[in-house]
Amino acid sequence: MRAKDRVTAVLCMNADGSHKLPIAIIGKAGRPLCVRPPAPGCPVPYFSQVSSWIVGPTMAHWFASVLVQEVRRVTTELVFLIMESAPSDGELKEDGVTIVCLPPNTTSMYQPLDKGIISAVKRR
């Protein structure tokens, strides 16, 4: 029987790549063994979700605790978060942050992360 342990990596950056948010990891474990004492804490934001996918509550938590805080640390200007589909069903709201959803199955044509950045992260 093959192991079916999965994680999801959440990548986010600005359009020109000059500001990258910390890669967030979504996994099944509430507290993974690799970050329990005596090991140092997790160096990236970690979220626990039964399916290891980014579903509504997990998306809302990432949005508030990672995206909004990091973006507001750098700028007060209007920000657009471009996604293929938003698992939060439009419940994410923040002044100055607008979520733009692309039509289904167009990610590879329009999102820069799918133009080689994700594969570069996987290789590393």
Domain boundaries, the chain: 8-123
pLDDT at 50: 84
What is the structure's pLDDT at 107? Answer: 62
- 74-101 burial string, b = 16+ CB within 10 Å, else e? eeeeebebbbeebebeeebeeeebebee
Q: Please tell me the pTM assigned to this model.
A: 0.75
Q: What residues are paired with 26 via a beta bridge?
A: 8, 47
Tokens of 51: 């399916």
* CB contact at 8 A, 86 and 63: no
pLDDT in the model for residue 1 = 47
- 3-class secondary structure, 97: strand
Instruction: Profile the chain (124 residues) by mean pLDDT over runs of 10 residues.
Output: 72 82 86 74 83 82 89 89 68 80 71 68 77
CA distance 54 to 47: 9
Dist. CA 2–CA 22, nearest whole Å: 30
